Amino acid sequence: MLIQPCDPPPRAGITAVGSLLPGDVLTSDDLQREVARPGGLALPPGILTKATGIVSRRVAAEGVYASTLAAGAARRALDSAGLTPHDVDLLVFASASRDMVEPATAHIVQAELGSRAHALDVTNACNSFVNGIDLARTMVLAGRAHRALVVTGETPSRAVRKAPADFAEFRDGFAGYTFGDAGAAVVVEAVERGGILDVDTETHSEHWEVGGIPGGGSRHPRGDSYTYFQGDGHELRGVFEKVGTAVVDRTLHRAGTDWDGFAKVLVHQVTVPYLERFAELTGVPAEKLVVTVPELGNVASASIGVQLDRVFAALAPGERVLFVGLGGGISIMTMVWEKS
């Protein structure tokens, strides 16, 4: 009996990446002075830097929107691959920020790029971008798309309360003072080798109220106070620590390797102490991390995309990278990607 060789399973991977940072830099000391001035708050000198490890962040100027940053990053990703917007048949805007409630920001990005792809939004807090990559991967593998462009544009600095009435209000909005703005984009398409090898998620939705921006939906359609980020950073950290490292442990087990099997580990970065605690709990070596939070702050779902852009060119074919996403809601997500 003649045994026919089996075709290799289809693969999809990331073939290009781009990112965009706004030109305006805001230091933590300047932000602290800006926040303290309206209410005359007597804040300890350097409290923002000391508590977060964040020295500065980029902030979008007037007239620069989430779509602006996403489109700029998209052009860089396409240019690096020698592609045009018309080479893409799926455009996913995957971000915690957006230009407006309706229509989907993906259409605004697409209008700016001039493409004609199927366009839609994906949102899941700071895991939005990794979720968008996973969605694009499944669409490519299902034959629903040939080449996808996944973009994010994050402007969480606009959800920061700049004039707290008192110290209690400052404390309640403290997590927002970690935010910075950025855009990122990746091209996802079929590859012959490597690609996205593994995806895992863990969700604990009972903690959805721990932090977020409540305005703009059916619960709070109007009211300026609802447009600011609200949440307790210590409580958020406590929830993630309680959830533990199970999803990361499972991913390493399935990959059949320890941290040595990955060239880099890209993890969503909120503050320096938060990142140090992640490294302590998981045991990931410091040299595997791509640290951006001291200079950029918490850029929400763009965090992993910006990190990937910084290391992409230096990665050799066959090297693997682990993405670890942490998002409000609460969700944790891992993705193993091998450069083709």
- Look at residues 74, 63, 65, 147 and name the one whose alpha carbon lies nearest to residue 110: 74
DSSP count for the chain of H helices, then E strands: 11, 13
DSSP 276-311: HHHHHHH---GGGB---HHHH-B-TTHHHHHHHHHH
Alpha helix (H) residue ranges in 195-245: 233-243
Q: Which entry of 86, 118, 126, 220 is annotated as an active-site residue?
A: 126
6 catalytic residue (yes or no): no
Catalytic residue among 124, 127, 131, 298: 298
Based on the residue annotation, tell me whether 126 is a catalytic residue of this protein: yes
Closest CA to 53 of 274, 300, 288, 231: 274
Place of tokens 């990112």: 19
Residue 268: active-site member: yes
Helical spans, DSSP H, in 159-282: 167-172, 233-243, 246-255, 272-282
Write out the two tokens for 174: 């403290």
- Number of Cβ within 10 Å of residue 265's Cβ equals 23
Question: What are the φ and ψ backbone dihedral angles of 105, each rounded to 5 degrees?
Answer: -60, -25
Neighbours of 195 (CB within 10 A): 23
Among the listed residues 124, 131, 207, 268, the single catalytic one is 268
Rounded Cα distance, 217 and 227, in Å: 11
Instruction: List, in order, residues 6 or more apart from 112 with CB less than 8 Å away.
Output: 67, 68, 71
Active site (catalytic) residues:
126, 268, 298
